[in-house]
Structure 1
């Protein structure tokens, strides 16, 4: 099935692209979530008019993310956790914890941008990559300290 992407979809295409996907993926995920519309003659004609709007919206979104990336340059976060033994902590530090720590500093970010391979379970200093796009990755410094 061919669909027209309304937003950028990672590993699939950019907004305004016409891509061929499996029927179930389109019907069950892309179309209901509003990420795509079916690529029929009517929609393709409407796409020509809407393409400029989609591209302008995508460009605004990209500029917004780049300005957010500039704000994050050189940010250092400190998160306190209870220590159980040696340098292990009680619980873990996840992407949601990093998002809330950034929110305290006045930076709103979606946790989907934070590239944590696995939750942090030890005290120490970490470099956390925040991936805004395939070409823009910002590393922030995260320090996990013992709660007093």
Structure 2
């Protein structure tokens, strides 16, 4: 199906372009959300008459997104979750959780704006992309920890998933030759 884009759509095209998409994508996503119109003579004329209004609205949305991006870009957010000794979370941190944490800080971000391919399943500092507008993308850091104190230590650069943090052992002191010496002679005389 050919559609006329009413706004920029990532990996598809710019506003005003006529692109060919799969019928289901057009019927279930582009048309209901008002991102496109079916490409026919009537809709082309309608688009051309509304082009200035659409461009002005898009520019306004972009400037609002830029203002939010300046405040939000590079920020770090703490997420406290239960985890095992090795740092594996008992649950996970999904896009919905990221959106809730960012919204709790006073920023209006929906979960569909969070670009998280896989849920976060371990403690640590995780970069997360947020699409505020089709042309405005920022990265925030999710500091996933077992407690607020642990999150503070992670923010300072301490690695809480290392053997030292988990077992109280210095990783530099762990060498394979201390545990197994292939040149050692064993007395295996069985009688």
Q: Which has the higher strand share?
A: 1
TM-score, structure 2 as length reference = 0.66
8 Å Cα contact 1:83-1:147 kept in structure 2: no
The alignment status of 1:10 with 2:10, answered yes or no, reads yes
Which structure has the larger Rg?
A: 2
Residues 84, 7 of structure 1: alpha-carbon distance in 2 compared, 3 angstrom cutoff: same
Distance (Å, rounded) in 1 between the aligned partners of 2:132 and 2:143: 22
Residues 88, 24 of structure 1: alpha-carbon distance in 2 compared, 3 angstrom cutoff: closer
TM-score, structure 1 as length reference = 0.83
Distance (Å, rounded) in 2 between the aligned partners of 1:131 and 1:108: 12
Question: Which residue of the partner structure matches residue 106 of structure 2?
Answer: 106
8 Å Cα contact 1:125-1:142 kept in structure 2: yes
Per chain length, whose mean CA-contact separation is higher, i.e. which structure has more relative contact order (CA < 8 Å, sep 6+)?
1
What's the CA shift for 1:109?
Answer: 0.9
Within 5 Å, give how 1:91-102 maps onto structure 2. Answer: 91-102=91-102
The alignment status of 1:124 with 2:108, answered yes or no, reads no
- RMSD (Å), alpha carbons: 2.4
Instruction: Give ranges in structure 2 of 5+ residues lacking alignment.
Output: 149-191
What's the CA shift for 1:17?
Answer: 2.1
The alignment status of 1:58 with 2:55, answered yes or no, reads no
